[in-house]
């Protein structure tokens, strides 16, 4: 005889677990994209600790990809009047090719040591302005964005999130804080769409990670809206300090699990 009480209890537990997971995904998106609005990126990386409590490791990268598409689209719309299309013309070729190549490599290889290299780059660039002021500084040239975009998209597809790797290039180019956010949002959107095409082709269980990614994106939209309000209250110098701080913090976050 079928125990209907047991079935109902199991169904209730499953529904509660799903609601809890959805709440954590929205919280992860809100926190990640709120802080990334104040520091020119890093929203996906800041979301990873909470995502790891909800998702299996194999789904973190594609879920972040979908969530980033929603978050980047919304942010690009919020700051649409400050987009620097000149930078994007140089970024697009590198981003698209790097994302497609990285998506294929993600399905074929496991390269955990890449996280350590990216973490070292973030940590060094975040502390560089304070430990060695005036030294090892560079003025970004437009042509450099193609190569930087390729490497960033490649690593992002392999690792899932690489933090604000592009920030040193933007911070050393003559562009306002709103322009950085808007331009990075469009470039992130292009990169994530390219990655999504690769993930859909090479990975299974698409319906599940697409749904989780859309829920994460809902949180990202909330974070973007709150971030825009907060951004109006900080100066360009404060923005640079926050961005450098996030570079160093992101590097430490990526190094911690490897220690």
Residue 207 is encoded by which pair of tokens? 């319906």
Give the SS3 label for residue 138.
coil
Q: What is the pLDDT of residue 2?
A: 46
Q: What is the pLDDT of residue 9?
A: 46
Q: Would you give the distance in Å from CA 63 to the centre of its chain?
A: 11
Length of the chain: 259
Neighbours of 214 (CB within 10 A): 15
Report pTM: 0.74
Secondary structure (H, E, C), 175-244: CCHHHHHHHHHHHHHHHHHHHHHHHHHHCCCHHHHHHHHHHHHHHHHHHHHHHHHHHCCCCHHHHHHHHH
**What is the full DSSP assignment across 31-99?**
HHHHHHHHHTS-HHHHHHHHHHHHS-HHHHHHHHHHHHHHHHHHHHHHTGGG--HHHHHHHHHHHHHHH
Per-residue pLDDT of the chain (259 residues; tens, 9 = 90+): 445 454 444 554 466 667 888 888 999 889 888 888 887 776 676 777 778 778 887 788 888 889 999 999 999 999 999 999 999 999 989 988 888 888 777 767 666 666 676 677 667 766 766 665 555 566 788 888 999 889 888 877 776 666 677 877 887 887 888 888 899 899 888 878 878 888 888 777 788 889 999 999 999 999 999 988 888 888 878 887 877 777 777 777 767 766 6
Q: What is the pLDDT of residue 12?
A: 46
Residue 12 is encoded by which pair of tokens? 């209730």
**What is the full DSSP assignment across 86-98?**
HHHHHHHHHHHHH
Cα separation, 222 vs 23, whole angstroms: 13
Residue 163: phi and psi, rounded to 5, are: 70, -170
Q: What is the pLDDT of residue 8?
A: 44
Residue 58 is encoded by which pair of tokens? 């194999």
Q: Would you give the distance in Å from CA 177 to the centre of its chain?
A: 18
């Amino acid at each position: 005889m079928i125990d209907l009480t047991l079935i109902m209890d199991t169904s209730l537990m499953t529904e509660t677990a799903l609601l809890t997971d959805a709440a954590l995904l929205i919280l992860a998106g809100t926190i990640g994209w709120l802080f990334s609005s104040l520091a020119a990126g890093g929203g996906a990386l800041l979301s990873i600790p909470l995502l790891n409590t909800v998702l299996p490791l194999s789904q973190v990268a594609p879920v972040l990809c979908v969530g980033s598409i929603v978050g980047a689209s919304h942010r690009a719309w919020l700051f649409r009047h400050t987009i620097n299309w000149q930078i994007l013309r140089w970024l697009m070729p590198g981003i698209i090719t790097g994302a497609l190549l990285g998506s294929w490599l993600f399905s074929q290889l496991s390269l955990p040591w890449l996280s350590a290299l990216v973490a070292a780059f973030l940590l060094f660039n975040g502390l560089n302005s304070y430990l060695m002021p005036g030294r090892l500084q560079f003025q970004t040239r437009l042509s450099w964005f193609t190569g930087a975009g390729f490497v960033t998209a490649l690593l992002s597809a392999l690792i899932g999130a690489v933090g604000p790797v592009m920030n040193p290039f933007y911070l050393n180019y003559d562009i306002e804080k709103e322009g950085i956010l808007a331009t990075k949002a469009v470039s992130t959107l292009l990169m994530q769409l390219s990655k999504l095409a690769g993930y859909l082709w090479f990975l299974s269980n698409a319906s599940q990670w697409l749904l989780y990614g859309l829920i994460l994106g809902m949180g990202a939209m909330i974070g973007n809206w709150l971030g825009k309000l907060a951004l109006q209250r900080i100066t360009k110098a404060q923005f640079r300090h926050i961005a450098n701080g996030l570079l160093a913090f992101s590097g430490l976050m990526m190094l911690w699990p490897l220690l």
